[in-house]
Amino acid sequence: MMNQPHLVYFADPMCSWCWGFSPVISTIRAAFGDRLPIRLVLGGLRPGTTTPMDEAAKANTRKHWEHVHTASAQRFDYKFFDRPEFIYDTEPACRAVVLARRRSIAMALDTLAAIHYAFYAENQDVTAPDILARIFVSLGGDEAMFQAEFSETALSQETQRDFYISQQTGVTGFPTLIAGTGAEAPFELVTQGFQTAAHVLPALRDWLKRHETSLLS
């Protein structure tokens, strides 16, 4: 538990609205740094999916992507929808982010952003362990570490704990960002769903100013 003002970010690496929110998280990290650290909890959007997407699922997903692009201007490669028999299982990508988190929260957030980019902007299959390993290594991770730990039962259990925390917290959609102080005071909702940096950053500045002042008094 962090005993200072901090954020908890509930997200999934294969959530299109989280991809839309990715630049906002980057802006928050740049603006606040260590004054407002971010704890990342993987949401588990569609973990354990085994059925390939049918045409109706593809059409519905494409509508979501188009809405995200309109709201955020984030890039999408719509050739994804030409993929045959794609199984939209988000668990492997979540597990890769949890593995990165073992090294540092900064690497976890970087890995989340990199998987988002690979999947949405480059149409890479981020359900594939070799693609996830390549992303991990590109961010300074050790390939031998990835190969040794990615299939461990302990890592799967750690990932499932994130899903459980997300469910028990009552998070019903991603992205969700909450703020707390590590004291007994309840967390405050920053955003549930996509918001622009122009909306989120002023609210965070006001919240942080209030809570830094109260901690000093």
Q: Which domains does the chain have, with CATH numbers?
A: 13-170 (3.40.30.10)
End-to-end CA distance of the chain: 22
Q: Chain centroid to CA 210: how far?
A: 27
Residue 96: what pLDDT?
A: 98
| pLDDT tens digit sequence for 133-189 | 999 999 999 999 999 999 999 999 999 999 999 999 989 899 999 999 976 778 999
How high does pLDDT run on average in the chain?
95
The average pLDDT across 77-88 equals 97
Task: In whole angstroms, give the CA distance from residue 40 to residue 113.
Answer: 12
Residue 215: what pLDDT?
A: 54
The average pLDDT across 69-89 equals 97
Partners of residue 40 on adjacent β-strands: 9
**Tokens in use for 120?**
């949405």
3-state secondary structure of 182: coil
pLDDT of 82 > 90? The answer is yes
**Amino acid in position 106:** A
Task: In whole angstroms, give the CA distance from residue 77 to residue 124.
Answer: 10
pLDDT of 204 > 80? The answer is yes
Residue 212: what pLDDT?
A: 76
The average pLDDT across 63-73 equals 98
**Half-sphere CA count of 166, side-chain side, radius 13 A:** 25
Q: Which residue has the higher pLDDT, 172 or 192?
A: 192
The average pLDDT across 112-136 equals 98
**Residue 2: pLDDT band by 50, 70, 90 thresholds?**
low
pLDDT of 216 > 60? The answer is no
